[in-house]
Amino acid sequence: MERTKKPEKLSQQMKKRSEKPIIKKDEYDGDFGTVISTGSTLLDLAISGGRVHGGGLPGGILVEAFGPSGSGKTILLSEIAGSVQRQKGEIMFHDPEARLNRRFAKLFGLELNDKDYFRSNTVPEVFSSVRDWEVENDKVIHGVFADSLAALSTDMEMEGKDGDKMGMRRAKEFSEELRKTCRILALKNYLMVCSNQVRVNIDPRSFQKYTTPGGESVGFYSSLRLRFNKPEKITNKIKVAGKEVKRVSGVKVEIEVFKSSIWKPFHTAPVTILFDYGIDNIKDCLQFIKDYTSNNVYTLGGNKLSVSMDEAVEIVEVGDLEPKVKEETISLWEEIESKFKIERKAKR
């Protein structure tokens, strides 16, 4: 469908409509500072919506995004890296699996060049580069990304030595490097985001069903761990010469704040990820508004958009209404969250 005519009437209605009140900044923590968006409003809110309006990722922390293959972890890292660049920050992107290319990165607004893109091989190679990294502007958040930790080797492994001890050696190197690096992240306000795989835990004595490579140190030193649950395929259907053709265009995945030292853990966010677009924030926000306003149609500011999701997205995009969608989602989320606030007498 061509998007040539701007829906003037609805756009004017949105601009004239009085906004829902925004919670004042002084009602949030004053020490949180600048944040970086994940590209998903609902995930930003799940991460830190109770500490800063709209939520997001602060600097100075290590984030581990882990989950099954094909769940969208690389795309999330690329979205966050693009957000860092849009806020004038510098990035360092380690890609030991050598999967990311410049054309793919541009889908998410991420500009890669030889200065900030590395196909690293070993654990020390990644983390020592973070400690040695110097940036010119210390007023913004700069980002370090590693996709993925599971692909990193040790120096001994690269030299073909002691194959039976590789697992223990790699876990030790992760522990050593993380212990030295996390202090630097906090000191320089760098945001480091790493992806990791999940593996079935065969130890019957453990209460954990799954583990992540690198030993326990990655989870221990991470201030925030995001768990990607099993993705659901998004299938599109078209007719060619009278025959139906199906293609998988993306995935829907629920991301859980599995561990958090920046706000409450265990919040979840539904995230739609399209392979040739990235996170479809408009769709997720419109669905959230529909689900929690008792509407049978997609609306914005109480005004009907469409019964069709695709048509509703088109109206939003052509009318430049993305900020309105985001703000209504935030206000509705805050209203829901306020219902769970516990009012108790202060401890003495």
286 shares a domain with 191: no
102 shares a domain with 2: no
Task: Decide if 82 is inside a domain.
Answer: yes
Average pLDDT over every residue of 259-279:
95
What's the N-to-C CA distance of the chain in angstroms? Answer: 63
Number of domains in the chain: 2
Q: How far apart are CA 284 and CA 347, in angstroms?
A: 39
pLDDT at 245: 94
Q: How far apart are CA 250 and CA 231, in angstroms?
A: 9
Domain boundary among 279, 299, 316: 279
Give the highest mean pLDDT range of 44-53, 132-141, 192-201, 208-217.
44-53
Is 254 or 2 the better-scoring residue by pLDDT? Answer: 254
pTM: 0.86
pLDDT at 197: 87
Cis? peptide before 129, omega within 30° of 0: no
Q: How far are the Cα atoms of 104, 113, 321 from residue 100, in angstroms, in the given order?
A: 7, 12, 31
Task: Decide if 217 is inside a domain.
Answer: yes
Domain span including residue 327 = 1-31+281-338
Place of tokens 């923590």: 29
28 pLDDT more than 70 = no
77 shares a domain with 26: no
pLDDT at 101: 82
Task: Decide if 344 is inside a domain.
Answer: no
Question: Residue 307: which of 315, 299, 318 has the closest Cα?
Answer: 299
How confident is the model over 141-191, as pLDDT tens digits? 999 999 989 889 876 665 555 554 555 788 899 999 999 999 999 999 999
Average pLDDT over every residue of 215-242:
92
224 shares a domain with 112: yes
Q: How far apart are CA 270 and CA 71, in angstroms?
A: 12
Is 207 or 340 the better-scoring residue by pLDDT? Answer: 340
Q: What is the 3-state secondary structure (H, E, C) of the chain?
A: CCCCCCCHHHHHHHHHCCCCCCCCHHHCCCCCCCEECCCCHHHHHHHHCCCCCCCCEECCCEEEEEECCCCCHHHHHHHHHHHHHHCCCCEEEECCCCCCCHHHHHCCCCCCCCCCEECCCEHHHHHHHHHHCCCCCCCCCEEEEECCHHHCECHHHHCCCCHHHHHHHHHHHHHHHHHHHHHHHHHHCEEEEEEEECEECCCCCCCCCEECCCCCHHHHHCCEEEEECCCEEEEEEEEECCEEEEEEEEEEEEEEEEEECCCCCCCEEEEEEECCCEECHHHHHHHHHHHCCCCCCEEECCEEEECCHHHHHHHHHHCCCHHHHHHHHHHHHHHHHHCCCCCCCCCC
CATH number for the domain that contains residue 164 = 3.40.50.300
Length of the chain: 348
258 shares a domain with 239: yes
pLDDT at 160: 55
271 shares a domain with 330: no
Domain boundary among 279, 304, 330: 279
131 shares a domain with 87: yes
Angle at 266 between CA 105 and CA 273, to 5 degrees: 25
203 pLDDT more than 60 = no
Q: What percent of the chain clears pLDDT 90, i.e. is strictly above it?
A: 66
19 pLDDT more than 80 = no
Task: Decide if 80 is inside a domain.
Answer: yes
The first and second tokens of residue 144, run together, are 């370090």
225 shares a domain with 190: yes
Task: Decide if 313 is inside a domain.
Answer: yes
How confident is the model over 232-258, as pLDDT tens digits? 999 999 999 989 999 999 999 999 999
